[in-house]
A and B are shown apart, each in its own frame.
Chain A
């Protein structure tokens, strides 16, 4: 269970790797020195779709930054001249004024140029980040479900947030400052040598190790940061579990053990943070002590050189002022180089997703049948489409070679308008099979046919308009109940340009009514109540009913119900099933069933066993002839819960109790984490 609290702290785990069971992904592409396939220029080339409108502004920003750097370097030159030729007792006041005006001009120019760099580059860099982010989102939405199965959403989030903000900082700051730092250092060192080659050499001897060290520092520090982020994530998981599982911990008196485990993890995290600080503190000690030591040596040498007449006082003053300007660039040039490598990794990771093939897409040759599976698609009044599976097999793309396929050879045919129940033991592949109809998965062998045509030959939009599905784990979106229910409704009824607004209301009422989701009207703002992340939270049973209403409101030719009633009590499920039969007469329905009452309402029942259809027939026929069916169905054996009988008011002295989940969402229908 992840909580919203954690979603705003994207985990910076890089690379796509093996999850370790907590959604954490091992580091494969560590952005270090080892990963250098393709140059940085190559990576930048891949960004070109996002670079509209930034190119000349980037150049303008670079020019501003470069000028700012040169201005900063020129100020010490002015000081040098000033000390040498003006500032001595009896010097000319007019020259002092001239120097003052010059320095003031340069000082203001430096500020304005810094402003200019930010003004030119930052907004378009934010634009690049934004375009890349939107493009990534768009791409991810089109990638098949199997892709999402193997990529935890936290991974995708870190690509969307952390990586792309690094990209922006690199474009806006890293690239420019790298160039500027190099130029500043080169020019500055030339000036230093110009003042005195001895002092220049001394300075260089100190600057080189700092540049070299700072390059490694960034990577050391980053990898320590990564580790601490991972550990903080694990710690958060432990906290979440300790809170969600508090009843268990209390019931078994395991608070002490939980605390010890937590303390161990927290202590590990502390150790990592301290190691991180150690890396930082060593670096700080170096960048403070080394350049200043060099300056101390230069001071000694400078005093001697001045005294022996080989250097002017002004040149010495200028030297110190120049080293002060150079300190920043020398310290950061290595880090900027490290940043470039990280940015390249971020780009690679972005490109990796963008280059993943969308292997569930519209047919290349165009849809086989003009408008779609059925000309009456979306009308809901048609006679339904036929649905057939022919020798369908499926195995997960990441399954090991010796693993049994989930489905081997499924052959099954639903006539238009027929309701077929699909039964099988847990793990028999029912869910995977039904999700193949709207092509959430594609069969790895065999075909799925709608109206006799392979589903892969339809345009996706048309296919998914024809087929509507409700899942067991009802996914709703942060929106009003109305919009959630009418999500898949035909555009001519519920679209923005629908002719008759009343038709959409009627459809909404019908869908909610059929799904026994009338509780929606009793919500604070009725069907306009916001649900989801920032709205009201619903119980598991309520969510399932809204999701079912959504599938109904889509008015499909084929309705696929993947055990959407599991969280409902038996009575409600019975009512829903009966209403469904009435409302969806004529809609071809494939329903994964777990209860005899559902099975009994189907026209026919198919038994899925060992990856294939074992038998098909009516409930009665199968009971008669199939031992396997009897076994499965007997496992469904139901009796009403004591509470529901007592709540129903049939017992003397007990008044009926309204189902709790309709009242507040705090009911017992499996809404616990």
Chain B
């Protein structure tokens, strides 16, 4: 829980802090998720996006700051120990050996010197091994903790973002941010960013030890570093392009594969197998070619690094060998130089290979930080007015609604719905019916005016009070993976099995649920558990019944039904409505007939308002609708 609180606090904080001051905002088209597909960023824009990613990283690192510092200490000490091995060998040969020789000649015991040399080496070995292991483990702990925070943070933020944002940004992109983008971060962590850092440290310390041993040989190392740097850079640039290409070709191949296998009925029924064979052969061949290309690049890099390393050793041998002949260099030092020179470039392979991982992780971080920069337009009240048990009276006063871009959807209106009234809303496609009822569920906020529930402004209610009192059932009747019972329990998570069943009985879902393979425990994603649209809607009605709100909103909730369950739904619907305040965007006139009151909405305005009987008598649009419907039944 404490982690939860921390993350939550940090989440809020970062939403504010991750947006640098106004002066730094180069271009409004870059804020949040806008322009995330743009590639042509100017220097300043790039700086802004980088700064945003960097702020995010810093926010993530804050709670693990001390552990991060500890990992830094560990990686420094362990690699210093590792790099000291050749130094100890040189010391052992150049200092220890003459000591032992002279002690032995003097008839003394060689044990103290031998133990000192061996003990130092073993001590360094154990230090290096244990600290390196601890470092690897600690890095994983730290990075996984950061990743967990980021996951939870993005998840929460996504859930908090208003529907307006989700409708605009599309589910696919939100999912990519949370899955593939976070995966590329995970991949980077997973594939050993720790071993990369450790490798670089090792190179550094090995370099230092060469300087310590013989600074002149270090100059050779500096020279050798030039071709290594060129080779690595060449590899990075080339592999970046090839890697991208092979990502594309592997994605194409996989998409084709999945599409073929999921559409196998159509493939076989329309004899598409042979044509598919050819297509897939081409795609798989392209992937093979790209892969070979990328392997070949590494096939050039690797020998280059090996040869450079070997030639460095040769150069050190040449340069050191003559000095040994002169007697100006100890032979142990030369041996140590040769050992160190051979190992110094080994981590370069990793450096080169991790580059593309870094690239995709950076790109991912930029997009994720953009998503986090989006502010929810519907915000929860900071000091909510409590409303534990609402009666269900809804009142719009001087209300107006339009989207952020200034487009007015519902011009100024007043509307009062007394508690317990069942109101049907009818109108043409796009008349604004759905917007009207979604305002009551606070999926959107009014642009101006007031909307109250039992006299309390909707935006002054806490989310939990609002959702306890106002529930909306939508057309899609989405089910989550899990059992039928769990899906109903979404209406009230603490409900008992008996209450869940009672809710299902009330809306007429009990019978069909019992007929499922495992009754209430049937997993809705398993074969045999897949429910028809009508059955799903019954489950969502049971969910709403269980939630038992004062105000119930049904947004086209019956429109997807065309199967036998329709009747059942109609009966269940009556019981579901009970004496609640209800707003129904009706699909069928039979539904309208159970309403106390009908609102006919046209072009964002309520143009007719009254009981069904009154409206039929008054002879307006609703009366015509009623007549047309009667005709269609007869015809």
Say how far B566's CB is from chain A's closest CB, in angstroms. Answer: 7
A179 within 8 A of B: no
In the complex, residue of chain A having the shortest beta-carbon distance to the beta carbon of B140: A277
Say how far A76's CB is from chain B's closest CB, in angstroms. Answer: 9
Instruction: Tell whether, in the assembled complex, residue B121 and residue A299 are in contact, meaning their CB atoms are under 8 Å apart.
Output: yes
A56 within 8 A of B: no
Instruction: Tell whether, in the assembled complex, residue B288 and residue A126 are in contact, meaning their CB atoms are under 8 Å apart.
Output: yes
**Residues from 248 to 267 in B contacting A, C-beta threshold 8 Å:** 250-251, 254-267
Given contacts A248-B540, A280-B136, contact A475 B265 (CB under 8 A): yes
A401 within 8 A of B: no
Considering the chains assembled together, what is the distance between the CA atoms of A142 and B261 in angstroms? 11
Instruction: Tell whether, in the assembled complex, residue B443 and residue A141 are in contact, meaning their CB atoms are under 8 Å apart.
Output: no
Instruction: Tell whether, in the assembled complex, residue A108 and residue B307 are in contact, meaning their CB atoms are under 8 Å apart.
Output: yes
Contact with A along B270-284 (1 / 0, CB 8 A): 111100110011001
Considering the chains assembled together, what is the distance between the CA atoms of A639 and B473 in angstroms? 22
Instruction: Tell whether, in the assembled complex, residue A153 and residue B262 are in contact, meaning their CB atoms are under 8 Å apart.
Output: yes
Query: Which residues from chain B contact A250 at a C-beta distance below 8 Å?
Result: 159, 163, 441, 443
Instruction: Tell whether, in the assembled complex, residue B155 and residue A259 are in contact, meaning their CB atoms are under 8 Å apart.
Output: yes
Instruction: Tell whether, in the assembled complex, residue A7 and residue B493 are in contact, meaning their CB atoms are under 8 Å apart.
Output: no
Say how far B474's CB is from chain A's closest CB, in angstroms. Answer: 5
Say how far B620's CB is from chain A's closest CB, in angstroms. Answer: 8
Say how far A112's CB is from chain B's closest CB, in angstroms. Answer: 7
Considering the chains assembled together, what is the distance between the CA atoms of A304 and B100 in angstroms? 7
Given contacts A89-B325, A550-B270, contact A141 B118 (CB under 8 A): no
B327 within 8 A of A: yes
Considering the chains assembled together, what is the distance between the CA atoms of A286 and B130 in angstroms? 8
In the complex, number of A-B residue pairs with CB atoms less than 8 Å apart: 526
Query: Which residues from chain B contact A243 at a C-beta distance below 8 Å?
Result: 158, 166, 171, 174-175, 178
B148 within 8 A of A: yes
Instruction: Tell whether, in the assembled complex, residue B318 and residue A641 are in contact, meaning their CB atoms are under 8 Å apart.
Output: no
A67 within 8 A of B: no
Query: Which residues from chain A contact B302 at a C-beta distance below 8 Å?
Result: 114-115, 118
B126 within 8 A of A: yes
A55 within 8 A of B: no
Instruction: Tell whether, in the assembled complex, residue B97 and residue A303 are in contact, meaning their CB atoms are under 8 Å apart.
Output: yes
A223 within 8 A of B: no
Say how far A471's CB is from chain B's closest CB, in angstroms. Answer: 6
**Residues from 539 to 582 in B contacting A, C-beta threshold 8 Å:** 540, 543, 547, 553, 556, 559-560, 562-564, 566-567
Instruction: Tell whether, in the assembled complex, residue A9 and residue B183 are in contact, meaning their CB atoms are under 8 Å apart.
Output: yes
Instruction: Tell whether, in the assembled complex, residue B277 and residue A141 are in contact, meaning their CB atoms are under 8 Å apart.
Output: yes
Query: Which residues from chain A contact B508 at a C-beta distance below 8 Å?
Result: none
Query: Which residues from chain A contact B468 at a C-beta distance below 8 Å?
Result: 253
A251 within 8 A of B: yes
B368 within 8 A of A: no
Instruction: Tell whether, in the assembled complex, residue A4 and residue B255 are in contact, meaning their CB atoms are under 8 Å apart.
Output: yes
Query: Which residues from chain A contact B612 at a C-beta distance below 8 Å?
Result: none
Instruction: Tell whether, in the assembled complex, residue A469 and residue B130 are in contact, meaning their CB atoms are under 8 Å apart.
Output: no
Query: Which residues from chain B contact A129 at a C-beta distance below 8 Å?
Result: 288
Task: Pick from B133, B148, B284, B559: contact of A281, CB below 8 A.
Answer: B133
Max chain B C-beta neighbours (<10 A), residue from A126, A160, A241, A247: A247
Say how far A249's CB is from chain B's closest CB, in angstroms. Answer: 7
Considering the chains assembled together, what is the distance between the CA atoms of A642 and B298 in angstroms? 66
Task: Pick from A96, A285, A476, A487: contact of B130, CB below 8 A.
Answer: A285
B334 within 8 A of A: yes
Query: Which residues from chain A contact B490 at a C-beta distance below 8 Å?
Result: 248, 252, 254, 257
Contact with B along A65-103 (1 / 0, CB 8 A): 000000000010001001100111111010011011001
A464 within 8 A of B: yes
Task: Pick from A248, A308, A650: contact of B624, CB below 8 A.
Answer: A650
**Residues from 265 to 283 in A contacting B, C-beta threshold 8 Å:** 266-267, 270, 273-274, 276-278, 280-282
A49 within 8 A of B: no
Instruction: Tell whether, in the assembled complex, residue A115 and residue B295 are in contact, meaning their CB atoms are under 8 Å apart.
Output: no
Given contacts A273-B190, A642-B587, contact A284 B629 (CB under 8 A): no
A461 within 8 A of B: yes
Considering the chains assembled together, what is the distance between the CA atoms of A290 and B130 in angstroms? 10
Instruction: Tell whether, in the assembled complex, residue A594 and residue B563 are in contact, meaning their CB atoms are under 8 Å apart.
Output: yes
Considering the chains assembled together, what is the distance between the CA atoms of A65 and B521 in angstroms? 59
Contact with A along B108-141 (1 / 0, CB 8 A): 0010011101111111111011101111110111
Instruction: Tell whether, in the assembled complex, residue A251 and residue B472 are in contact, meaning their CB atoms are under 8 Å apart.
Output: yes
B604 within 8 A of A: no
Instruction: Tell whether, in the assembled complex, residue B314 and residue A104 are in contact, meaning their CB atoms are under 8 Å apart.
Output: yes
Instruction: Tell whether, in the assembled complex, residue B85 and residue A640 are in contact, meaning their CB atoms are under 8 Å apart.
Output: no
Identify which of B59-67, B382-390, B423-431 touches chain A.
Answer: B423-431
Instruction: Tell whether, in the assembled complex, residue B148 and residue A270 are in contact, meaning their CB atoms are under 8 Å apart.
Output: yes
A296 within 8 A of B: yes
**Residues from 107 to 125 in A contacting B, C-beta threshold 8 Å:** 107-108, 110-112, 114-115, 118-119, 122-123
Instruction: Tell whether, in the assembled complex, residue B331 and residue A88 are in contact, meaning their CB atoms are under 8 Å apart.
Output: yes
Instruction: Tell whether, in the assembled complex, residue A426 and residue B563 are in contact, meaning their CB atoms are under 8 Å apart.
Output: yes
Say how far B293's CB is from chain A's closest CB, in angstroms. Answer: 10
B412 within 8 A of A: no
A359 within 8 A of B: no
Instruction: Tell whether, in the assembled complex, residue B250 and residue A8 are in contact, meaning their CB atoms are under 8 Å apart.
Output: yes
Query: Which residues from chain A contact B480 at a C-beta distance below 8 Å?
Result: 241, 245
Query: Which residues from chain A contact B295 at a C-beta distance below 8 Å?
Result: 118, 122, 126
Contact with A along B524-535 (1 / 0, CB 8 A): 011101001100
Given contacts A107-B314, A140-B261, A237-B481, contact A307 B633 (CB under 8 A): no
Interface size on A, residues (CB 8 A): 174
Task: Pick from A83, A426, A670: contact of B335, CB below 8 A.
Answer: A83
Considering the chains assembled together, what is the distance between the CA atoms of A246 and B490 in angstroms? 13
Considering the chains assembled together, what is the distance between the CA atoms of A670 and B559 in angstroms? 10
Task: Pick from B133, B145, B311: contact of A285, CB below 8 A.
Answer: B133
Given contacts A7-B258, A9-B183, A252-B491, contact A468 B175 (CB under 8 A): no
Query: Which residues from chain B contact A296 at a C-beta distance below 8 Å?
Result: 88, 118-125
Instruction: Tell whether, in the assembled complex, residue A650 and residue B467 are in contact, meaning their CB atoms are under 8 Å apart.
Output: no
Instruction: Tell whether, in the assembled complex, residue B291 and residue A126 are in contact, meaning their CB atoms are under 8 Å apart.
Output: yes
Query: Which residues from chain B contact A103 at a C-beta distance below 8 Å?
Result: 310, 313-314, 317
**Residues from 488 to 537 in B contacting A, C-beta threshold 8 Å:** 490-491, 493, 523, 525-527, 529, 532-533
Instruction: Tell whether, in the assembled complex, residue A107 and residue B313 are in contact, meaning their CB atoms are under 8 Å apart.
Output: yes
A145 within 8 A of B: yes
Given contacts A100-B318, A254-B490, A642-B586, contact A299 B310 (CB under 8 A): no
Considering the chains assembled together, what is the distance between the CA atoms of A498 and B270 in angstroms? 18
Contact with A along B292-319 (1 / 0, CB 8 A): 1001101110111011011101100110
A263 within 8 A of B: yes
Identify which of A130-138, A343-351, A411-419, A446-454 touches chain B.
Answer: A130-138
Contact with A along B394-420 (1 / 0, CB 8 A): 000000000000000000000000000
Instruction: Tell whether, in the assembled complex, residue B632 and residue A99 are in contact, meaning their CB atoms are under 8 Å apart.
Output: no
Say how far A507's CB is from chain B's closest CB, in angstroms. Answer: 15
Given contacts A115-B303, A308-B104, A635-B563, contact A145 B265 (CB under 8 A): yes
**Residues from 77 to 122 in B contacting A, C-beta threshold 8 Å:** 82, 85, 88-89, 92-93, 96-97, 100-101, 104, 110, 113-115, 117-122
A643 within 8 A of B: yes
A492 within 8 A of B: no
A512 within 8 A of B: no
Query: Which residues from chain A contact B118 at a C-beta distance below 8 Å?
Result: 296-297, 299-301, 303
Query: Which residues from chain A contact B160 at a C-beta distance below 8 Å?
Result: 255
Query: Which residues from chain B contact A108 at a C-beta distance below 8 Å?
Result: 307, 310-311
Instruction: Tell whether, in the assembled complex, residue A263 and residue B152 are in contact, meaning their CB atoms are under 8 Å apart.
Output: yes
Considering the chains assembled together, what is the distance between the CA atoms of A297 and B487 in angstroms? 65
Max chain A C-beta neighbours (<10 A), residue from B163, B171, B322, B607: B171
A to B CB contacts below 8 Å, 18 in the list: A90-B325, A106-B310, A115-B302, A127-B288, A140-B264, A145-B265, A157-B257, A232-B186, A243-B175, A247-B163, A253-B467, A277-B137, A289-B126, A302-B92, A554-B270, A594-B562, A651-B621, A670-B560
Task: For the A-B complex with A252-B467, A282-B133, A645-B625 known, give 14 more contacts whose Cβ atoms are closer than 8 Å.
Answer: A96-B317, A107-B310, A253-B467, A254-B490, A266-B148, A266-B155, A285-B129, A313-B93, A478-B259, A566-B562, A594-B563, A638-B562, A643-B426, A660-B430
